[in-house]
């Protein structure tokens, strides 16, 4: 089995006396699509921040091999900048490289962005902004992309289109993806395997098929009788 790009072992994260993550383990290997599912406050953002080195673990270990790029929750566009300039910011860590601002590779894999390049990011729809956020992450030339809440506030058709793009980036370009989602159905449709995080602990993990069939996830996220889980537009998140 290949060496993981992201490897988290027995991770503990605390804020003062509050424990946000309690002995969490997770891995993402090259070429994998992995889901991290959990409700508000489960500890998903804390785990992402630990992977990015933004929060320091109280115990345990995070190992990252290769480049990780984040597609942040809420997309975090610079509204007054053009799409092109927002993309260029994704290469900030590579800014000393000669081709750091070269967006052509991103336009080659996400051609819709080429048509939007001169548009102000703030004038775009939520789905278009999410696509720009994908492109901005790709500018870092990552081995693994961490996508924090792909579906948040977006209509089902837009989500399906974005999911298809992620699948293609994975299948055709070998990009590994860690998808953080409250929408369990979307996450398990898209990803080969996943983790269910609750109250700072991994409650279940395994193949998407096994998780989808498991009683815990079915009750908590997929709804009785298989109704779609996760928030939809117009519904409060918490």
Residues touching ligand ATP, count (CB under 6 A): 11
Cβ(133)–Cβ(55) below 8 Å: no
Nearer to ligand ATP among residue 90 and residue 230 (C-beta): 230
Residue 157 binds ligand ATP, judged by CB under 6 A: no
- Given 42, 146, 166, 220, the residue binding ligand ATP (CB under 6 A): 42
- Given 43, 135, 142, 194, the residue binding ligand ATP (CB under 6 A): 43
User: Tokens 């590994």 label which residue?
Assistant: 176
Beta carbon of residue 70, minimum distance to ligand ATP (angstroms, whole number) = 13
In angstroms, the CA 86 to CA 94 distance is: 15
- Given 26, 28, 34, 38, the residue binding ligand ATP (CB under 6 A): 38
**How would you list the strands of the sheet with 59-64, edge to edge?**
18-28, 6-15, 59-64
Residue 45 binds ligand ATP, judged by CB under 6 A: yes
In angstroms, the CA 205 to CA 54 distance is: 25
In angstroms, the CA 173 to CA 124 distance is: 26
In angstroms, the CA 217 to CA 211 distance is: 7
Q: Which stretch binds ligand ATP (CB under 6 A): 13-21, 78-86, 127-135, 153-161?
A: 13-21
**Coil, strand or helix at 215:** helix
Nearer to ligand ATP among residue 66 and residue 126 (C-beta): 126
In angstroms, the CA 180 to CA 70 distance is: 11
In angstroms, the CA 16 to CA 157 distance is: 42
Beta carbon of residue 42, minimum distance to ligand ATP (angstroms, whole number) = 4
Beta carbon of residue 197, minimum distance to ligand ATP (angstroms, whole number) = 7
- Given 6, 11, 20, 222, the residue binding ligand ATP (CB under 6 A): 20
Q: Which stretch binds ligand ATP (CB under 6 A): 43-51, 114-122, 165-173, 225-233?
A: 43-51
Nearest-10 crossing angle of helices 156-173, 126-138: 20
Q: Which residues bind ligand ATP (CB under 6 A)?
A: 15, 18, 20, 38, 40-46
């Amino acid at each position: 089995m290949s060496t993981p790009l992201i490897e988290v072992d027995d991770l503990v994260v605390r804020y003062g006396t509050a424990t946000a993550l309690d002995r969490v383990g997770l891995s993402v290997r090259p070429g994998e699509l992995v889901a991290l599912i959990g409700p508000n406050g489960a500890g998903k953002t804390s785990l992402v921040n630990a992977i990015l080195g933004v929060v320091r673990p109280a115990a345990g270990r995070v190992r990252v091999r290769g480049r990780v790029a984040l597609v942040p929750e809420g997309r975090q566009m610079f509204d007054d900048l053009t799409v092109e300039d927002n993309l260029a910011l994704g290469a900030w860590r590579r800014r000393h490289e000669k081709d750091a601002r070269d967006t052509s590779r991103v336009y080659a894999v996400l051609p819709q962005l080429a048509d939007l390049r001169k548009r102000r990011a703030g004038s775009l729809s939520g789905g278009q902004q999410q696509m720009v956020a994908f492109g901005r992450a790709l500018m870092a030339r990552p081995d693994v992309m961490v996508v924090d809440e792909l579906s948040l506030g977006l209509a089902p058709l837009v989500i399906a289109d974005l999911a298809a793009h992620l699948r293609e980036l994975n299948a055709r370009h070998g990009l590994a993806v860690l998808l953080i989602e409250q929408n369990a159905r979307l996450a398990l449709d898209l990803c080969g395997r996943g983790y269910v995080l609750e109250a700072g602990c991994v409650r279940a993990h395994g193949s998407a098929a096994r998780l989808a069939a498991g009683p815990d996830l079915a009750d908590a996220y997929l709804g009785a009788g298989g109704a779609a889980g996760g928030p939809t537009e117009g519904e409060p998140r918490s």
